[in-house]
Amino acid sequence: MPHPTELRAYALQCLLETDPAMKAAAVAAMAQAWAEGVLALDPAHDPAAAPASELAIPGRPVRPELVPPRLVGRRSMATLEGRAMLVHALSHIEFNAVNLALDALWRFPGMPAEYYIDWLRVAREEAYHYSMLAAHLQTLGYQYGDFSAHDSLWEMVERTREDITARMALVPRTLEARGLDAIPPLRAKIAQAGDMAAAAILDIILRDEIGHVEIGNRWYGYLCEQRGLEPRATYDELAARYRAPTPKGPFNLEARRKAGFSEAELDRLQSA
């Protein structure tokens, strides 16, 4: 298919792509086209070719099989298969993160241009993360799709499809922020198992995810200010309405500070 010449329409086309490798390549091509100045941006345009309910969003492959989180296999670092299962789980998280960034880019009209540029950056970096993990998984003798996975991240994306304030509050600054806490112990575990290549990939992911969470924090603050909402009370109301999980420690306070969480928010997290 010919590529759209408008950024948000291009993002929707990438979102609908079902092949993971082709999706990652399409996102990289979109980012390059934007950098070269060959894409326009129309924040008011609705790029959907059909009503969103009729589109297969997100496009994804037949595999992996999606199961409840409790049915995802145990990942022991003592075996090659266990390490591969962990890398597969991380690959699936990053693949979903590509989709959520693309969805944030195309779905919500009327935001400042900087919003769309920020989410283009997130999509590009998440696609790079997925590609690195999928390639490393192949060195372990497996492919993305060889193990089951769960869909918790995308479920929250779907719940917040009509509410950009809820999306910013509950996806980047809640669910993705959990990755800031989870990556350091995972990195230590996989490094102890001797997989230093995977550990190096996690270093890159943590560095970039700080920026992604900061983007969510910043645009949540912007939306609250524009709509006259008190951020803390609004967050509590949205978390209850959309059944967001309560963050549990230990927390990576340094990374969360870099991602824009205030000391008051960090104190509240630790005392909850």
Per-residue pLDDT of the chain (272 residues; tens, 9 = 90+): 678 999 999 999 999 999 999 999 999 999 999 999 999 999 998 887 555 545 788 999 999 988 887 767 667 788 899 999 999 999 999 999 999 999 999 999 999 999 999 999 999 999 999 999 999 999 999 999 999 898 888 999 999 999 999 999 999 999 999 999 999 999 999 999 999 999 999 999 999 999 999 999 999 999 999 999 999 999 999 999 999 999 888 999 999 999 999 999 999 999 87
- What was the pLDDT predicted at 258? 98
Gap between the terminal Cα atoms of the chain: 50
Q: Which CATH number fits domain 7-271: 1.20.120, 1.10.10, 1.10.860, 1.20.1260?
A: 1.20.1260
Q: Where are the domains of the chain?
A: 7-271
- What was the pLDDT predicted at 241? 97
- What was the pLDDT predicted at 183? 97
What sections of 36-112 are H helices per DSSP? 80-107
Q: At what angle do helices 196-227 and 231-241 cross, to 10 degrees?
A: 110
- What was the pLDDT predicted at 208? 98
- What was the pLDDT predicted at 49? 56
Closest CA to 183 of 163, 211, 203, 160: 203
- What was the pLDDT predicted at 66? 85
